[in-house]
Amino acid sequence: MSLPTEQLIELRGRLEKNLGDEPGIEGILARIERWGPDLLAGVAEIYPGIDLQDRIIDIVSNGLRARSHTLRMRDRVRLLTPDWFQRADAVGYAAYADRFAGTLKGVQDQIPYLSELGVTYLHLMPLLEPRPGESDGGYAVKDYRKVREDLGTMRDLAALSEALHESDITLTLDLVLNHVAAEHEWAVKAREGDQKYRDYFYVFPDRDVPDQYERTLPEVFPDFAPGNFTWDDELAGWVWTTFNSFQWDVNWTNPDVLCEYIDIIINLANQGVDCLRLDAIAFIAKRMGTNCQNQPEVHAITQILRAAAHIAAPSLIFKAEAIVAPDDLVAYLGRGKHAGRVSDIAYHNSLMVQIWSALASRDARLLAVAMSRFSDIPTTTAWATYVRCHDDIGWAIANEDCEALGLNGFQHRLFMSDFYSGAHSASFADGLVFQENPQTLDRRISGTAASLVGLGRATTAGERRLAIDRLTLAYAVVMGYGGIPLIYMGDELGLLNDESYATVPEHADDNRWAHRPAMPWDVATDRSKPLTDPGRVYSGIHRLVQVRKSLESLHASVPTRIYTTSHPSVVCCVRRHPAGDLVQVYNVSDVSVALDESEILGHGWTLTYDRISERNLPVVDGRITLPPYATMWLTEPV
């Protein structure tokens, strides 16, 4: 290890001066050795020549002073077990507090439901105070230090996190980094003419610069929020609004913005939040002539935030919400100089899209090509794997991957939209088209997992069974890929699209609300009835959760390798771990497929015991027959 630089010594000196009387100060100072270099490198990259270190250390010190004894203990334990979120027993659940259980107290009452399902990680959708009225599902935050009134208070949040921790469940909250609500105090002050706060945003007096940017900027919500800038009379200027006109992008080149967010992050960590989902992180750095996504500065900024947060609250981790093209994704877990220094978790958007592609085309080869092209991620990080989320699904499928199989990327993406909106003749799905873009012909899709796999359209018992098998297979892939699999509330019961969103004025224009239903607790009681649809779906997912937890090979540090078979519908994934290898076999089609046993066992494996069915691989005359949507997780016999 290189000797500490002068700056590092200064950082340590400042922290010691601020906190010298704190118990456990040696341990705290050691964090400067560990994360100080990351902090300094990030600051030098983004804010060169600006004396920021002392300011940051002062914010960190105040945060540390306010940190409770219980959370400090948690920090210590996590420093000793830094892979706590990577382990095979990790299972995530994402829900809106109100739609799941009314209030934060209600969520606390439902902890037994989560524990029964095997959940260890709960992501509660935006719950900090949003602007009144339309708020993009809470992603237009008015106050980062207050909980939405109808859900409870900060005190309730801290109590909930404590109760979750007692049940070995961690808490993830959203942190919107790209924008604040137009009603946020910073925006209000900017409108009042306060230059300090005007500088928190990108404001332009006329269309000159915005028009130059627009040349290369895509539109995120072309339907209901076209363009990327909004005129504001009080500002007498155009303010950058990538998303809705009421979500003002903040200017991260301003060090004051950085300091505000460091303080917000540590404050949330001090409420007992374990993980922050960095919302829309891809958009926070702007560069003329680009699409202003995935710019290199994004990663340096994340590195600063993470280093500062870790000095104050080392048990806090970050999850990047970067729903970007496959080639840009791995950078959020760190590549090159940022490897392992940025987010700890990132959504595997590409895997999600490829699962839907495989199910629609009954062909897993594209999934195999796309996944094989991913480079390995830092061994200290994890993917968040998922079948669907609260957002629409955009077909982030690379042309090159399609071309490798003689497919046309554009046509394939059109096919996916047709298929999942139910327009294609072979479709089983009933998704909804979200944000049709007449220029690019891009059509994203909304829908619950159960609706997209065809449970809503199934008319016969056989069709229903196939739809449920499809859903279970999709969940098996995400449970088995490594990383934290996320169950989106209701998927465990096979909930269908909720058409009632159209009658709620604030939601009517945004059909993503179709896949954000309220929890029907009466349906949830059917989960224990094996002959009902909710019972079948629940038992399938529950089984996968249980098996997953018993397989050390599912630790996130182990990469998944994929191999195809001679049949396009059958794909295998292998994970090699000193505790025991695992081979997964999936048939993504609705018909049985027979293969020579060597196709599955001919790679040097002797893994013949399927952990899901608890049976040996059924080999008859050297052939293995895989029923429709078969899933097998093979290990050594147990």
Positions marked catalytic: 279, 321
Phi-psi region of 227 (alpha: psi -120 to 50; beta: other; left: phi over 0): left
One-letter amino acid of 52: L
Which listed residue (36, 92, 118, 137) binds ligand GLC by CB under 6 A?
A: 137
Nearer to ligand GLC, 176 or 257 (CB): 176
The tokens describing 140, both together, are: 């237009």
Residue 592 in 3-state DSSP? coil
For the CB of residue 453, give the shortest distance to ligand GLC in the complex, in Å. 22
Please check whether residue 155 is in contact with residue 217, taking contact to mean a CB–CB distance below 8 angstroms. no
Q: Residue 188 forms beta bridges with which residues?
A: none
Q: Residue 575 forms beta bridges with which residues?
A: 582
For the CB of residue 512, give the shortest distance to ligand GLC in the complex, in Å. 7
Which listed residue (29, 43, 57, 176) binds ligand GLC by CB under 6 A?
A: 176
Burial of 604 (0-12, 13-18, 19+ CB in 10 A): exposed
Residue 81, Cβ neighbours under 10 Å: how many?
Answer: 12
Nearer to ligand GLC, 135 or 381 (CB): 135
For the CB of residue 204, give the shortest distance to ligand GLC in the complex, in Å. 21
Nearer to ligand GLC, 130 or 534 (CB): 130
Q: Report d(CA 454, CA 596) in Å as an integer.
A: 31
For the CB of residue 357, give the shortest distance to ligand GLC in the complex, in Å. 21
Element counts in the chain: helices (H) and strands (E) = 23, 26
Nearer to ligand GLC, 38 or 279 (CB): 279
For the CB of residue 254, give the shortest distance to ligand GLC in the complex, in Å. 20
Which listed residue (113, 139, 201, 629) binds ligand GLC by CB under 6 A?
A: 139
| C-alpha 115, offset from chain centre | 21
Tell whether residue 279 is a contact of ligand GLC (CB under 6 A).
yes
For the CB of residue 59, give the shortest distance to ligand GLC in the complex, in Å. 25
Burial of 535 (0-12, 13-18, 19+ CB in 10 A): middle
Q: Which residue is nearest to ligand GLC (CB)?
A: 139
Tell whether residue 510 is a contact of ligand GLC (CB under 6 A).
no
Binding part of the chain for ligand GLC, among 78-86, 136-144, 477-485, 555-563 by CB under 6 A, reads 136-144
Binding mask 337-376 for ligand GLC (x = CB under 6 A): ----------------------------------------
Binding mask 225-254 for ligand GLC (x = CB under 6 A): ------------------x-----------
Closest CA to 230 of 209, 246, 252: 246
For the CB of residue 530, give the shortest distance to ligand GLC in the complex, in Å. 35
The helix (H) or strand (E) run that includes residue 585 is strand 582-587
Q: Residue 635 forms beta bridges with which residues?
A: 609
For the CB of residue 241, give the shortest distance to ligand GLC in the complex, in Å. 11
Which listed residue (38, 75, 129, 136) binds ligand GLC by CB under 6 A?
A: 136
DSSP string, 117-179: HT--EEEE---EEEPSS--TTTTSEEEEEEE-TTT--HHHHHHHHHHHHHTT-EEEEEEE-SE
Q: Report d(CA 50, CA 480) in Å as an integer.
A: 46
Round the CA-based radius of gyration of the chain to a whole number and report it.
25
Which listed residue (391, 506, 596, 597) binds ligand GLC by CB under 6 A?
A: 391
Which listed residue (59, 91, 280, 342) binds ligand GLC by CB under 6 A?
A: 280
The secondary structure of residue 616, as a DSSP letter, is E
Tell whether residue 47 is a contact of ligand GLC (CB under 6 A).
no
Residue with tokens 């269908």: 496
How many residues sit in the footprint of ligand GLC (CB under 6 A)?
9
Report phi then psi at 204, rounded to 5. -125, 135
Binding part of the chain for ligand GLC, among 79-87, 131-139, 500-508, 532-540 by CB under 6 A, reads 131-139
Q: Which residues bind ligand GLC (CB under 6 A)?
A: 136-137, 139, 176, 243, 279-280, 321, 391
